[in-house]
Structure formats: structure tokens, C-alpha cells
């Protein structure tokens, strides 16, 4: 996953934000952190505005969780593996 923001963050705040955002994986993926879920999160910022890093973390978790669910539900079956949208068929 990738978090792109315009909030001014230090390198350590970016690392913390990536760590906190992993909570979205736990909310949306079960089991989480297996070899199949690609559990890396990158954080990038243009450093334009001031905002509380903790508030950004709350938003990042919610957005990442929704992005994961949207990706799963819009995926198509491929290579003999059924997508979530096709499981009931």
C-alpha cells in the first residue's frame, strides 16, 4: 500500500504512519501478514501543510481499509483462482 499526503512529516513520523496504517490490513484481511498479502506500506509527502500526525494516522487507516475492500471486490478471477465477486457463482 501507499500513503501519499501533503502533511509535513519527519522520517520517523513517516515510519510511524506506515506502522499505524497496518491496522487497516488487520481490519480488512484475514488472516493478515501471510506470504500472499503484500503487506508493505510506503509513505510519501509533499510536506506542504501542518497537521497532527495522529489525526493523519486515523484517516490513513480508514482510507487504506476501504481501498483494500474496494480492490478485493473489483478484482476479476484469473489463472483458475476465483475473485471474491465470483465466489457465489
Cell of 33: 501478514
Cell of 36: 500472499
Please state the pTM of the whole predicted model: 0.84
Q: What is the pLDDT of residues 18-47, one digit of tens each?
A: 999 999 999 999 898 888 777 899 999 999
Cell of 46: 509533499
Residue 20's pLDDT is 96
Task: Please report which confidence band the pLDDT of residue 15 belongs to, taking 50, 70 and 90 as the band edges.
Answer: very high
Q: Where are the domains of the chain?
A: 2-86
Task: Please report which confidence band the pLDDT of residue 89 belongs to, taking 50, 70 and 90 as the band edges.
Answer: low
Exposed/middle/buried for residue 30 (C-beta within 10 Å: 0-12, 13-18, 19+): exposed
| Domain boundaries 2-86, corresponding CATH code | 3.30.2330
* Sequence-ordered alpha helix ranges (H) in the chain: 11-28, 53-74
Amino acid at each position: 500500500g501507499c500513503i501519499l499526503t501533503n502533511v509535513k512529516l519527519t522520517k520517523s513520523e513517516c515510519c510511524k504512519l506506515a506502522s499505524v496504517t497496518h491496522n487497516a490490513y488487520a481490519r480488512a484481511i484475514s488472516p493478515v501478514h501471510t506470504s500472499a498479502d503484500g503487506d508493505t506500506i510506503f509513505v510519501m509527502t509533499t510536506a506542504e501543510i501542518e497537521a497532527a500526525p495522529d489525526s493523519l494516522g486515523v484517516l490513513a487507516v480508514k482510507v487504506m481499509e476501504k481501498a483494500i475492500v474496494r480492490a478485493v471486490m473489483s478484482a476479476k478471477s484469473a489463472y483458475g483462482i476465483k475473485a471474491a465477486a465470483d465466489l457465489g457463482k
